[in-house]
Structure 1
Amino acid sequence: MPAITTFDSTSESLLDMVKSVRDGKTQLPDFQRGWVWDDEHIRSLLASISLSYPIGAVMMLQWGGEAVRFRPRLIEGVQLQQPPIPERLILDGQQRLASLFQALYSGQPVVTTDARGHPIRRWYYLEINKALSLNGDRDEAIIGVPEDRLIRNFRAEVIADYSSMERECKAELFPLPLVFDTAGLTAWQLRYLQVAPDHIQERLVRWNDLVQSVIQRCQQYQVPLVALRKENPKEAVCAVFEKVNTGGVSLTVFELLTATFAADEFSLREDWAHREKRLKQHHVLKTVENTDFLQAISLLASRQRRIQALTSGASVDAAPGITCKRKDILRLTLEEFRAWADPVTEGLQKAAKILHGQKIFAARDLPYRTQLVPLAGIVTVLGDRADHDGTRKKLARWFWCGVFGELYGGAIETRFAKDLPEVLAWIDGGPEPDTIADANFSPSRLLGLRTRNSAAYKGIHALLMRDGGLDFRSGDAIDVHDYFDEKIDIHHIFPQDWCRKHAIDTRRCDSIVNKTPLSARTNRMIGGNSPSVYLERMQRRAQIHDKRMNDILGTHLIDPDPLRKDDFDSFFLARQTALLERIAQATGKPIVRDTLPAEQEAVELPLEYEQDEDAS
């Protein structure tokens, strides 16, 4: 039985390879970034070629596959007014081939960088005497000289001039581009022998040594070549590229899809730039990424494919699934993108309004950016129904279950794919989605919620604002204008300074239980004072009587009695209980509380406090 293979492994002469680059027969897929090898890397590469050392295989993709249509572009340094349709695309080896083409075959100085990253232009030469020395280092024998071929010292004085063939020959500096230039090589050889008529025999011996040990090695160099056949599917080609591109920057699915759509003269990058500008007018969408956008489109496009298959009589198991994994995003057609791009953009904007209703106004307070993907997909399908009160309540419950169940922090594409149909079915009277069923919040988690690195930490912050938390000083509820104008943030109730002085362990001091949303001005009034001191001061300055202040504290789930008595332990236990009840209300799921964290046996902890968010 013949072997099944998707590639061919062979070798090709370096000369044929750089010729193919020059003629535009070998090009790059548009997603390949510009090459950035520095001068030292290029000299080392040229040294390896001159010694017939291996430089690694080059991987290319045959052009013409129906499933893979990347927009091609010429390699840096190639100048063609009308580039031809390529015969193949470079997947791995771009930097090596670009460097070798520019250094040996382009007829132009190489655009590169020095050790400090500054752009420079260089011609590459071989110091003949060093190259032929038995103890010579080939890397040191290859040098790069400036574009004008003049070497200057730090005072900009010319100390060496290689601007003519005569001067090159006298200095015994061989221009490496001549290895593939037969006429130029012959002319240089004659001049090399003529510049020292008294030493022709000696020079002839050196020249013959140079030809055998360097020039012929370059001319006969074979580059290992792996050629992927054009029948390979796009996701396979992209997966191969990602695996071999270990020396470069990992490509995003957005960049790969950009190259695919570019083949149809559509600029995904420009399209996204316009949409991104619109979306980021909403503070809560400031961190939305292009991959989030594509995932939402993939969910909806694959859902549409599934519906069409089921309508056509396919069984539930045979119909294509709803998905937004990387390989499935790469399968999106331009027609599907165009069909869903506007609805998803509007869906994200509607999602922002829903989040505002939950008192999440800024991206830094959004528990999971990733949860925007299924939310946008859901509200896109719902359309105007997303504004109905009953629908909003269910969406809120699903949202908070995801947050407090901490369900969107790992491998999440599978959950996205379940959320879309399950939440839609639930809204239409079906069973609760798995995200609600899977949500669980452990009371012991409260002590671990200390910074915005936790979704549940940000979730409690938002819940306290959503459910009517009033500012200690002004007594105002928090809306979107107050949030930004008053610089609302999460601050300590018992200040860190007070906790340090009273040996309160860091886990409890910095826990979300000891924090609440307050304005920057109110937090400055709190300072490092005890609650009994700052409450008395606030009430006096703001003319707030005790009952009103107690009511304000109650909106933050704070028991006023232990707070006024500076009784941290009683305050902490009471607020733990209240916060857990609030989480249970938001998720619609009971929380099992056999023993609250603060009731467990005390543990000796070091007094190392988190960086004070209150000071920021």
Structure 2
Amino acid sequence: MSTFQTPQYTIVELLNKAQCGELQLPDFQRPYRWDDERIRSLLVTILRGHPMGVIMTLKTGGHNVRFKPRPITGIGHEGLKEPELLLLDGQQRTTSMVQALTGDGVVDTEDARHHKLRRRYFVDVVKALGDVREQEDAVVSLPDSGIVTGNIGRDVVLDVTTEEKQHAAGLMPATVLFDSARCFAWMMGYQQGAPERMAVTQQFLSTVAQSVQTYKVPAIELDKDISKDAVATVFEKVNTGGLRLDVFELLTATFAGDGAYFKETGEDFRLAEDWARTEEVLHKHPVLKEMRSTDFLMAVSVLITLSKRRTALAAGKTGKQVPQTSARREDILSMSLDDYRTWAPQLRDALPRVARHLRDLHIHESRGIPYSSQVVSLMIVTTLLGERAEEHAVRARLNQWFWCGVLGELYGSTITTQLAKDAEQLPDWSLAKSSTTPEAIIRASFAESRLGSLRSRQSAAYKGVYALIMAQQTPVKDWMLDQKLDFQSYDELQVDIHHVFPKKWCEDNAIEYWRRESIINKTPLAKKTNIRLRGDSPAVYIDRLDAKGLSAEQVDAQIATHAIDPAFLRAGDFDGYFQDRRRRLVDLIESAMGKSVVRDWNVDSESTDAPANFNEPAASTGGVSIGGEPTPDRTL
């Protein structure tokens, strides 16, 4: 059974449908924004009889998709009919025609430099009958006043404010051209008193006027009972001229059209206003400030579908009767407003706990989040656990899962399935109600050689090791300022990751690039301290640290909190330091993951030490979310 038809509309029919309200826009469509030249070019296309492209509409009255409508920009709300069709694709073209060809023909637009303009469009009668080059100039854009001036406004160059002046200039308002009766009357006035214009008038009416008044726009008309997912797919395929709509915008429209909510409250539900409440919470916690609305909806979808799955299992249902836990686009789009209103506030209430958890893991800012997708899982699990998520034993288990996900690099590609598994497996396991180890922990693996290739601060594992150095049980201290590097001091001290053996010293001493830039040669330090190190050997800069009022023993103790043996630094021994720090980081990683690291590093093996083994993997070109980590599956 076909889900669409392919009617054709004359421009006059299309304009009439828009003016009476039969054709409207779904509320989620973005504002009208075509510039002056694009509008003029569209009118030239019509004048020549060339195709302008297909529009796409959706019949209203369906049960699956109920978008809140709004009139096409330029059409008033008073006296409009209920819409029969919603314009899904072709908004900019249709709006341009509605504004330029109806009413007073004044269009609020802009020039190429985005300066605001108010324009009216006219057709040069003689040029419209010319060749292709002349027809290109046949549509004229003029100020809305109808007056063109020169000499800084002193001289009137052109005045078409009256019909008589239009006749004299041979410029017909575009609003007249598409009305057969008005067009005929205008042309009669044009030829009156000028017999030489009779031939032009006859030719114009029989060719140009007849052509544009019968010009047809092809359409694809979607059936009213088409699914939400199909409509979303349509937008992905056809809305290439602008920004692609995501599930948040589609849900904004469907929620706004929810009849039950309107009956209950007397107003439409505004998803954007609800998201604004979530943003208020997020902005109080810098580590979460980059979270996207679509991340939030993925989490809500998992909570809704998991709840339905648990209900079905408790009722003894099996097989296809049991819904799947899901964050897939189709499940997000199918969520009801009632379900959203049940779970979204609970998820929002859990956000401060999530931020505190990340802070305790020494992830202090959004760019330091290893995997934004894993934070979505953390949000879901924290919501399900409630206050128990902050209990010591529960937190310890969640920490193990977190570090396994980060250091095992499990959340960088398709994650919708992993979100569902985490939601099903983690809560009971973290509460010790289940002895089944979550799949993420089972799958996680870290190879010792990976430390040599962790050089990019965009890498999740790089961010993870950086945070792990600060998250040791013994508080990490700055080397010069004798202050703990914690949540309170992190911003104040402008802490960042810096070289232990400085870049300049490494270059001067022919240290290989991969070893110089490896996470093994990096550690968190205050900005002032890093400046103090300069580009010297640790054997030199440690003397400067000793001179800042601390004893050598105190400086050594502070360096040791970074999983570093200070003796190697005082000796300026890079090779000894590098091997020792690598082993210490491996110990940290094993402790955090609760499992052994793959010992595949042999410093005496040329095949293992080959620089090619330490090339950083190419960065993904997928979407970006909370912490900037690529997530290629984000096609919501």
Please report the TM-score for the alignment, with normalisation by the length of structure 1: 0.94
Deviations 1:23-46 (A, max 9, x none): 111001111111222222222211
The corresponding residue for 2:302 is 299
In the TM superposition, what is the alpha-carbon distance from 1:448 to its structure 2 partner? 2.4
> Could you tell me whether the CA contact under 8 Å between 1:443 and 1:597 is conserved in 2?
no
Say which of 206, 212, 216 aligns to 1:218: 212
Change (3 A) 1:317 1:438: farther
Q: Which amino acid aligns with 2:175?
A: P
Q: Please give the residue correspondences for 1:140-539 in structure 2 after superposition, counting only pairs within 5 Å.
A: 140-153=137-150, 155-156=152-153, 157-194=155-192, 197=193, 199-200=194-195, 202-264=196-258, 265-427=268-430, 428-467=433-472, 468-539=475-546
Check conservation: 1:77, 1:106, Cα contact below 8 A.
no
User: CA deviation digits over 1:586-605, x for unaligned, max 9?
Assistant: 11121111324796455579
- Cα distance in 2 for residues equivalent to 1:293 and 1:603: 43
Percent identical among aligned pairs is: 40
Cα gap change, 1:597 to 1:407, in 2 (>3 Å): farther
Alignment check: 8 A CA contact 1:284 1:361 kept: yes
Single out whichever of 87-96 and 440-449 deviates more from structure 2.
440-449
Is the 1:348–1:372 Cα contact (8 Å) retained in structure 2?
no
- Distance in 1 of aligned mates of 2:603 and 2:248: 45
> 1:566-605 CA distances to partner (integer Å, 9 max, x unpaired)?
1112211111121122111111121111324796455579
CA distance in 2, matches of 1:73, 1:474: 61
State whether residues 61 and 224 of structure 2, in contact with CA within 8 Å, keep that contact through their aligned partners in structure 1. Answer: yes
Gaps of 5+ in 1: 606-616
Separation (CA, whole Å) in 2 of partners of 1:241 and 1:360: 37
* Preserved CA contact (<8 Å) 1:14 1:221: yes
Distance of 1:166 and 1:480 partners within structure 2: 76
Amino acid at match of 1:240: V
Structure 2: how far apart are the matches of 1:240 and 1:96? 18
Counterpart CA distance in 2 for 1:192 and 1:345 is 67
Residues 286-345 of structure 1: per-residue CA shift (max 9 Å, x gap) = 111111111111111111111122223310553000011122111111111111111101
The aligned counterpart of 1:593 is: 599
Question: CA-atom RMSD, angstroms?
Answer: 1.9
> What is aligned with 2:52?
55
Give, as a single letter, the amino acid of the residue that structure 1 aligns with 2:305.
Answer: S
For the residues of structure 1 that align with 2:36 and 2:89, how far apart are their CA atoms? Answer: 20
Task: Describe the shift of the 1:444–1:604 C-alpha distance in structure 2 as closer, same or farther (beyond 3 A).
Answer: closer
Q: Which residue identity does 2:93 align to in structure 1? A: R
* Contact kept in structure 1, 2:184 and 2:205, CA below 8 Å: no
Q: Report what 1:68 is aligned to.
A: 65
Structure 1's 598 and 55: CA in aligned 2 closer, same or farther, altered over 3 A? farther
From the superposition, tell whether residues 321 and 597 of structure 1 become closer, same or farther in structure 2 (CA, over 3 Å).
farther
Residue identity in the other structure for 1:285:
L
Which among 579, 584, 589 is matched to residue 578 of structure 1?
A: 584
- Unpaired runs of 5+ residues, structure 2, are 259-267, 613-636
SS of equivalent residue, structure 1 residue 330:
helix
Q: Structure 1 residue 92 and structure 2 residue 92: aligned?
A: no
Give yes or no for contact 2:180–2:213 (8 Å, CA) kept in 1: no
User: Deviation string for 1:176-211 (max 9, x for gaps)?
Assistant: 2112334432432232122xx2x31x2111011111
1:532–1:565 contact (8 Å) kept in structure 2 = yes
Aligned equivalents of 1:230, 1:42: Cα separation in 2:
31
Residue correspondence of structure 1 range 119-138 to structure 2 within 5 A:
119-134=116-131, 136-138=133-135
The answer on whether the counterparts of 1:492 and 1:515 sit within 8 Å (CA) in structure 2 is: yes
Query: Match of 1:239, SS?
Result: helix
Distance in 2 between the 1:6 and 1:586 partners?
54
Q: C-alpha separation between the residues in 2 aligned to 1:244 and 1:123?
A: 30
Does the C-alpha gap of structure 1 residues 346 and 128 become closer, same or farther in structure 2, counting only changes over 3 Å? same
- In structure 2, relative to structure 1, the CA distance for the partners of 1:444 and 1:140 (3 Å cut) is farther
* 1:119-172 superposed Cα distances (whole Å, 9 cap, x missing partner): 212111111222212464322211111100111336234211111111111111
User: What is the Cα deviation at residue 80 of structure 1?
Assistant: 2.9
**Quick check: 219-228 or 395-404, which moved more?**
219-228
